[in-house]
Structure 1
Amino acid sequence: MSNIEIRKAVFNFIYLEALDDATRRTEAASLKHSIEGMESVREIVKEYAESVVHGDNPCFYYYEQKIEDVLYEQEKYRKFTFGNIQKLINMTMKYLYIQYYDTDIYKNFTCCNVPLDSGMRDLIRKDYGVKTISWECAWSKITRESTDRKYSLDNYINFQDAVVAIVKNDSRYRIPLEFDYYNHNRMEKSLLIENK
């Protein structure tokens, strides 16, 4: 197998894992297999990923909008909300980061957003005292169009801004994704202790 084939296989594996994360336990779960077959969505995520790895500092919102434009041509895909799309893109980047964390390329991932989910949202509210995120916010229900503060895109933006501010003031983290890795592990341990 050539290096190009391996890279493609690795990316496809990462993308499918991220798609699973983006749809699991959400209203978009029934769309997983049809989105899995949409090469155009996969290519947009891949284009974003390659742009990050090459250090181009791509705009997340540009690529997220491109995915919405493709999906929302059909009404049924509107269930795959901004919240699901951010999870797809951001989890892809989180998994891809594993390949680069111990190289100089890690710096290129500084532009990547942390995947928003309820566990991370609650953690930064509780452990870091962040009050700018709606407590009721369900990550999978966030949309660009929402006029309801609970499901507003502002919650996503406020979450990302809070994580960036935390990372800038804590030398344990070089980039926001490292904050996610470190705290996701802490969050998992807390859940295990609570469930015993």
Structure 2
Amino acid sequence: RRSVEEICAIDCDGFAIGGLSVGEGKAEMYDLLYHTAPLLPADKPRYLMGVGTPLDIAHGIHAGVDMFDCVLPTRNARNGTLYTSLGKVNIKRKEYAEDDGPLDPACDCYACRTFSRAYLRHLYVSKELLSFRLNSLHNLTYFLRLAREARQAVRENRYAAFLAHVESLYPEEAALAAGL
């Protein structure tokens, strides 16, 4: 059996992990991620392809992954699912019809600074194209902030607490990851 280095040859710029999150359960996906990432050279970038919930990213970083890409933040935004410092928000729900608060009080994106949950819901249910843009802008801002917070937690040697916090925001997904 050949090593990763032999397969790659001499001068790879980085390594990718692909084929996860394509039908297996969350627990199995994380088992494979935690098994595979440490096998890759630590001195080269490690990239996880097409995996991208906030919890997936937090676990990916914990496993040693450096880079991610996924359509999830913008696709989910276009379908009304928004990620916030308090967990997921389904903006199409009727409970937001008269909610004058910001989507995420901890977020400084244009959508959160400028518009209420009620207005964002109105745009979504009216199928206004602005809804897709504002929701995507917000989700991308959230994911960038998540990555910055993860980096800071690594630097401050408190990543376990950071991961536990992200798990607390997405309890149903965390339960699936734990095999429950």
Q: Could you state the TM-score of these two structures normalised by the residue count of structure 1?
A: 0.32
Higher helix share: 1
Higher strand share: 2
Q: Could you state the TM-score of these two structures normalised by the residue count of structure 2?
A: 0.34
Larger radius of gyration: 2
